[in-house]
């Protein structure tokens, strides 16, 4: 098994290669589907049809946006955390979805990327659901771990033999500093998830944003200490901005 890192539109993409099959560790941006197709054909000399499963770690545009398109084209299975309701349900969910889309386009612009269509359905129909600690079907050397905080359904994907773990947005590196994602909807659960990650025997952290690699207990402890104590939602951010505007 070999893990390839592909530079996506606004995030790192991780693709696990086996002799006869491929596993995507997350669901991409919609704009990344063509990037993955080209990489599989040109760099791996394999077919996009060899992508047998896509894990969707959570529903944000750069982690779920390409999954349904890949399934429609190549028949791969979409696997995600089982939850009783959609993340973007109702009127509040629509507002949250639009805010997440604006943030994705903002990040792309900050990175100097050209405009691309990132829109995708906010409702995901999965082919299978993953419980905490469950091996990935068809790729049993990988294990799903529930690491909520950023959202209520965040997954990390842990490779038992190599001790590598893909943590999606649970840990972000900006230059040489580890930071919490935005938003953190569930601060207490986020700290618990980081504590769990710190207790694992991880040799390599695979990050969606920033350079991964080995992370020390001291680095993770500092991230826990500096993580938000209150939800850092768009609603709270808007309130803070309004308060600053009117108090200026």
Q: How far apart are the first and last CA of the chain?
A: 57
Q: What is the pLDDT averaged over residues 58-73?
A: 98
DSSP code at position 213 = B
Nearest to 14 by CA among 207, 179, 190: 207
Q: How far apart are CA 165 and CA 173, in angstroms?
A: 15
Nearest to 197 by CA among 172, 236, 232, 167: 167
pTM score, whole prediction: 0.94
* pLDDT digits 0-9 by tens, 88-97: 999 999 999 9
Q: Are 194 and 227 in contact (CB under 8 A)?
A: yes
- Residue 71's SS3 state is helix
- Residue 201's SS3 state is coil
Average pLDDT, the chain: 94
> In Å, what is the CA distance from 51 to each residue of 1, 3, 27, 74, 157?
14, 13, 12, 8, 17
Name the token pair of 162.
């190599």
* pLDDT digits 0-9 by tens, 181-211: 999 999 999 999 999 999 998 999 999 999 9
Helix, strand, coil percentages, rounded to 5, for the chain: 35, 25, 40
Radius of gyration of the chain from its Cα atoms, rounded to whole angstroms: 18
């Amino acid at each position: 098994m070999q893990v390839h890192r592909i530079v996506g539109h606004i995030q790192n993409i991780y693709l696990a290669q086996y002799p006869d099959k491929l596993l995507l560790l997350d669901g991409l941006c919609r704009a990344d589907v063509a990037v993955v197709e080209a990489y599989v054909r040109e760099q791996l000399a394999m077919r996009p049809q060899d992508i047998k499963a896509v894990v969707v770690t959570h529903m944000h545009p750069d982690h779920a946006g390409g999954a349904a398109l890949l399934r429609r084209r190549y028949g791969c299975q979409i696997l995600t955390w089982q939850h009783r309701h959609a993340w973007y349900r109702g009127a509040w969910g629509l507002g949250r979805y639009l805010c997440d889309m604006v943030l994705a386009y903002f990040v792309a612009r900050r990175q100097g990327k050209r405009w691309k269509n990132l829109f995708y359905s906010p409702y995901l129909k999965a082919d299978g659901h993953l419980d905490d600690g469950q091996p990935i079907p068809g790729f049993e050397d990988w294990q799903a771990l529930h690491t909520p905080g950023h959202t209520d359904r965040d997954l990390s994907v842990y490779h038992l033999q190599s001790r590598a773990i893909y943590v999606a947005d649970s840990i972000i590196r900006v230059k040489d500093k580890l930071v919490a994602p935005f938003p953190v909807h569930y601060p207490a659960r986020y700290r618990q998830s980081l504590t769990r990650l710190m207790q694992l025997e991880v040799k390599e952290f695979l990050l969606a944003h920033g350079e991964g690699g080995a992370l020390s207990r001291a680095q993770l402890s500092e991230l826990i200490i500096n993580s938000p104590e209150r939800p850092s939602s768009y609603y709270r951010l808007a309130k803070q901005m309004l308060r600053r505007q009117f108090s200026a």
